[in-house]
Amino acid sequence: MTAPLTDSVRRRLADAGCVAAPGDVYAGDGARFYDDLVGPDRSEIREVLDIARRVGPDVLDLAAGSGRITLPLVRTGKRVTALDLSADMLARLRAALPAGTTCDVVVADMCDVDLGRDFDLIVLAATSITLLGPTDRRRLFATVRRHLAPGGSFVLSVAGAGALSALRASADREIPVGSTVYLQSQQVESDGARRVVNWMPLPLPPAPGPVPVLTTRLHLLEESVVTDELRDGGFAPPEVIPVLTNGIRSGEGMVLLHTRVDDGTADVA
């Protein structure tokens, strides 16, 4: 679903006599943009691969997108199933698969899917848990439990303390993506629970007309909230693994939560 525009983007468009042509950042032209935006980011790949080496061969990558995590897993010889709600993002993954490798690609809602098999490792990277509200997070955790093999691992990433502090503040900044400069505009909603993010190409056109604005809406989640929800969902207390992110002190930008189904004996350390 396309999220609304930030007040800052609305103001800039109105001042320029332009109107927004909003689009989902995960679909259509947004898929190419998102791939260019996050594709070069190597955060959490090393940590996920380290866990993958210690488990069996079958891996489910949730919210796989264009394959930032999927492709390194495939290259290590894992049997990977990549699942995403966006067919456009998965099309980019298919095109990027190395010759001679295979990967099951599934277009589906990660909160409500039955793949009819289980996995040694299930991954939800790129803090994609923030796409979901509380009800959908409960549904997701139930889905993960159904698909985990006995003793299997579930790994998901959440923002670290430093990143979360920055995400709680409305702000605009200009960022280069490919050959284009974009205004990245973030607005925290009044309840403080979610943020709207827009990306708009700059400069704005000199004549009135439509301007593409890519949008998303994301929940603001503390590590402790996700940990409590995992426990309520039947998982063991997670191991917290600091991630080195873009030169930020390890764990400040992102952490991985590594857990297993709580059968009374689970130990993820």
Q: Which residue has the higher pLDDT, 251 or 57?
A: 57
* Average pLDDT score over residue span 181-195: 96
Amino acid at 249: R
Q: What are the CA-CA distances from residue 152 to residues 33, 139, 232, 260, 261 (Å)?
A: 34, 19, 18, 6, 8
Q: Cβ atoms within 10 A of the Cβ of 192, count?
A: 9
Which residues share a beta bridge with 155? 123, 258
Quote the CA–CA distance of 160 and 152 in Å, as a whole number.
25
CB 62, CB 122: distance < 8 Å = yes
Given the structure tokens 């490798």, which residue do they identify?
101
Contacts 24+ apart (CB under 8 A), 48-53: 48/72, 48/73, 48/123, 48/125, 48/155, 48/256, 49/73, 49/76, 51/121, 51/153, 51/155, 51/256, 51/258, 52/76, 52/78, 52/121
pLDDT in tens, 189-233: 999 999 999 999 999 998 888 999 999 999 999 999 999 999 999
**Model pLDDT, residue 252:** 79
pLDDT in tens, 62-74: 999 999 999 999 9
**Model pLDDT, residue 189:** 95
**Model pLDDT, residue 251:** 65
pLDDT in tens, 93-108: 999 998 888 899 999 9
Given the structure tokens 């709580």, which residue do they identify?
262
| Percentage of the chain lying above the pLDDT 70 cut | 95
Inform me whether the pLDDT recorded for 7 exceeds 60.
yes
Residue 131, helix vs strand vs coil: helix
Q: Is the dihedral of CA 41, 244, 103, 112 positive or negative?
A: negative
Quote the CA–CA distance of 198 and 191 in Å, as a whole number.
19
> What ranges do the domains of the chain cover?
7-29+163-219, 38-160+221-259
Which band of pLDDT confidence, cut at 50, 70 and 90, is reported for residue 1?
very low
38-160+221-259 in CATH: which number? 3.40.50.150
* Average pLDDT score over residue span 34-47: 91
Roughly what angle, to the nearest 10 degrees, separates helices 87-96 and 29-38?
60
Which band of pLDDT confidence, cut at 50, 70 and 90, is reported for residue 267?
low
**Model pLDDT, residue 25:** 95
Amino acid at 269: A
Side-chain half-sphere CA neighbours of 247 within 13 A:
0
**Model pLDDT, residue 250:** 67
CB neighbour class for 232 (10 Å; exposed up to 12, middle 13-18, buried from 19): exposed
